[in-house]
């Protein structure tokens, strides 16, 4: 074999996503929107799914103004019919290379006050919805030329979380689902990984991060980089996990938290 194999040949772009067909769920705003933008800037063809159709339409327009083309799909990951429609759309455009499962909801409550309904609500979107979307699109990923699945977990995928036991349980399940899927899909050439973001300032987290001054101070003290993250801080990891640069990486939970979980 040549000293320079395919992976080290000069000119090979490890982060080029040209022609890669991508679905991002939860793409209307926040982390999903940032992920989609970054993937689009690296050449991916975007299909953006979200249950908030109005916000999604604005996002797609804004992306277009910034030179990133994307098609919107107004859908709810909890709806089997909606997921079926998404599958038909991707099949109609020739298949799928990369799936980013980012749609999610949060619930915070003292454990003594949390209800079973709270768990059901979180589970339905964060784990069941992710599972249903993945199952439906899997055949198209397996049929492709080395697909990638990127699931979005949270610190709850690797640690316990204060006043978010049910949420953390759903995200812990996302981590184990990710690794189990990686086991089953490795021989099909599909890489499956998860990103576990730390505290990222979005609509979902805003009130919690800004609300209680004492808690905010305590949280910032634990983050080695001394600040909460922005969606842009997570973008690079999405690109890496979607791109050829990570072709030998699967079954991993990549924590992007400014150092919160390192001590
Ligand atoms: N913000 C954080 O600090 C943080 C930390 C760790 C993990 N996460 C995870 O990152 C993901 C994105 O969170 P975010 O902070 O950007 O939140 P966000 O609320 O800004 O965005 C979530 C998006 O998901 C969509 N969505 C929710 N339920 C849906 C459903 N049933 N079907 C389709 N779309 C649905 C929403 O409409 C919204 O556009 C979530 O999975 C969340 O759990 C966020």
Is any ligand 1 atom within 6 A of the Cβ of residue 243? no
Where does the pLDDT of residue 1 fall: very low under 50, low under 70, confident under 90, or very high at 90 and above? low
Tell me how many degrees the CA angle 104-149-75 measures, rounded to the nearest 5: 45
Residue 117 to residues 103, 113, 123, 129, 247, Cα–Cα distance (Å): 19, 11, 10, 16, 40
Q: Which ligand 1 atom sits nearest the alpha carbon of residue 171?
A: 43
154 C-beta closer than 6 A to ligand 1: yes
Among residues 131, 167, 177, 199, the one annotated as catalytic is 167
Ligand 1, from 30, 82, 201: best to mutate by most atoms within 8 Å of Cβ?
30
pLDDT tier for residue 182 given thresholds of 50, 70 and 90: very high
CB-ligand 1 contact for 167 (6 Å cutoff): no
State the distance from the centre of ligand 1 to the C-alpha of 204, rounded, in angstroms. Answer: 7
28 lines ligand 1 (CB under 6 A): yes
The rounded percent of the chain whose pLDDT value lies above 70 is 96
CA angle centred on 149, ends 23 and 176, rounded to 5°: 130
For residue 2, is pLDDT > 80? no
Work out the mean pLDDT of the chain and round it to a whole number: 95
Is the pLDDT confidence value at 59 over 90?
yes
Query: What are the domain boundaries of the chain?
Result: 17-258
Q: Which of 89, 30, 29 is nearest to 53 (CA)?
A: 29
Whether pLDDT at 7 is above 70 = no
Give the tokens for residue 220. Answer: 């910032």
Q: For residue range 238-257, what is the model confidence (pLDDT) as tens digits?
A: 999 999 999 999 999 999 99
143, burial (CB in 10 Å: exposed 0-12, middle 13-18, buried 19+): exposed
User: 17-258, what's its fold?
Assistant: Rossmann fold (3.40.50)
Active site residue 177: no
How far apart are alpha carbons 29 and 36 in whole angstroms?
10
């Amino acid at each position: 074999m040549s000293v320079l194999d395919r992976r080290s040949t000069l000119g090979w772009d490890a982060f080029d996503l040209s022609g890669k067909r991508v679905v991002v769920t939860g793409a209307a705003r926040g982390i999903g929107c940032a992920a989609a933008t970054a993937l689009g800037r690296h050449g991916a063809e975007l299909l953006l799914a979200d249950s908030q159709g109005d916000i999604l339409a604005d996002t797609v327009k804004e992306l277009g103004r910034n030179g990133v083309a994307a098609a919107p799909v107004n859908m709810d990951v909890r709806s089997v019919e909606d997921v079926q429609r998404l599958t038909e759309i991707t099949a109609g455009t020739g298949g799928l290379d990369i799936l980013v499962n980012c749609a999610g909801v949060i619930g915070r409550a003292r454990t003594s006050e949390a209800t079973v309904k709270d768990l059901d609500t979180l589970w339905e979107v964060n784990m069941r919805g992710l599972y249903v979307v993945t199952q439906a699109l899997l055949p198209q990923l397996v049929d492709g030329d080395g697909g990638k699945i990127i699931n979005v977990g949270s610190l709850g995928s690797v640690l316990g979380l204060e006043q978010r036991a049910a949420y953390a349980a759903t995200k812990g399940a996302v981590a184990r689902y990710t690794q189990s899927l990686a086991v089953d899909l490795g021989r099909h050439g599909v890489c499956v990984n998860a990103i576990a973001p730390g505290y990222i300032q979005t609509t979902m987290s805003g009130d919690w991060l800004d609300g209680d001054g004492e808690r905010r101070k305590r949280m910032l003290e634990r983050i080695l980089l001394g600040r909460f993250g922005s969606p842009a801080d997570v973008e690079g990891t999405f690109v890496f996990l979607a791109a050829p640069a990570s072709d030998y990486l699967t079954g991993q939970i990549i924590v992007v938290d400014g150092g919160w979980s390192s001590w």
